[in-house]
Amino acid sequence: MHTRHQNHVRTSAAGVVTTRLAGWNAVDWVLAIYVTFVAGVAVIWASTIPRWPYIVVGHGLLLAAIVPLPTRGSVWESPRAADPPLVATTRAVLRFLRYTYPALLLTPFFEEVWLTINATSPQAPYWFEPHLYAVDRALFGVVPAVALSQAGGPLLDELMHAFYFSYYPLIIGGIVLAWTGGRRGHETPGPGFHTAMTCMLLGFFLSFVWYPFLPARGPWENPQLMEGLRPFGGAVRPSAPTSRAVAASTRRQTTRHGTRTFVRWREDITESSRGVVVSRPA
């Protein structure tokens, strides 16, 4: 009797999982495959990946969390006339997050690349960088990040920071535009939303998966390449790419020498702001 009950529970659980998976669309499968891939990399090259158990456990929990997500188009998504404004707003926000949650994971996925980037070649970290610089020189005669940093000034610095920062509003604005279809008062998500989300996620993940095998940093993260360049001359605080460089620098220096003072951290920002012109994922 007990065995029969256990089998029934297992069958019911398997049926629930199967039903949930049947309701997934392409973007859910893309996310699940990428999460599984990174966890596999962490297991295979565990000896060369710092804190690899956290990656495996974290990705396992993420997979366990997305399986029970309600199927798109479920009854709970439909607005109801009896809903008070707070409930209606909460329902709309939760529905939006249900459809767009993969985009929220892009930042942590990008940051964890720092743990896996040299997994397959710890004896030759960032070995692919010289090849990328060679392509730059073959196309432009110089490494653009270096040449433009030396030739620029405060105005060009601000302009290039603005161009790079626009990357983030474009992603966020693009998701919202695809969700609404560009017009208010119509059913969401708009036509083409799922295609737009899937293509965006594929673009990111297809670049992320190569980092452990073709490791390279952004030019601003290469101290040899950036050495001797003029300091940042703009008035506005550095945007996203420099903040990543500062964060990496601060983490390394904090580990070696303890917490820095604000003055020293500000100097790091200035130094790390050099050469942020043509970006390449770090």
Mean pLDDT by 10 residues, the chain (282 residues): 54 67 84 96 96 96 90 83 89 90 92 94 95 94 83 78 85 85 66 87 93 90 80 53 39 37 36 38 43
Condensed to tens digits (0 to 9), the pLDDT of residues 136-148 reads 999 999 888 888 7
Domain assignment present for residue 24? The answer is no
pLDDT at 19: 72
Domain assignment present for residue 31? The answer is no
Domain assignment present for residue 43? The answer is no
Q: How many domains does the chain have?
A: 1
Which alpha helices (H) appear in the chain, and where do they start and end?
A: 2-22, 26-44, 52-66, 85-104, 106-116, 129-140, 144-151, 154-165, 167-180, 193-208, 223-226, 240-257, 262-272
Q: Measured between alpha carbons, how far apart are the two ends of the chain, in Å?
A: 58
Domain assignment present for residue 20? The answer is no
Domain assignment present for residue 210? The answer is yes
As a whole number of angstroms, the distance between CA 16 and CA 12 comes to: 6
Smallest CA-to-CA distance from 194 within 77, 26, 24, 23 is with 26
pLDDT at 179: 87
pLDDT at 54: 96
Q: Is 187 helix (H, G, I), strand (E, B) or coil?
A: coil
Token output for 102: 């993969």
Range of the domain at 172: 124-282
For 83, residues 6+ apart whose C-beta sits below 8 A from its C-beta are: 91
Contact between 260 and 253 under an 8 Å Cβ cutoff? The reply is yes
Domain assignment present for residue 275? The answer is yes
Domain assignment present for residue 58? The answer is no
As a whole number of angstroms, the distance between CA 157 and CA 145 comes to: 12
For the CA atoms of 229, 111, 46, 27, what is the dihedral angle to 10 degrees? -130
For 130, residues 6+ apart whose C-beta sits below 8 A from its C-beta are: none
As a whole number of angstroms, the distance between CA 90 and CA 108 comes to: 25
For 245, residues 6+ apart whose C-beta sits below 8 A from its C-beta are: 218, 220, 221, 272, 276, 282
What integer best gives the mean pLDDT of the chain? 77
pLDDT at 145: 80
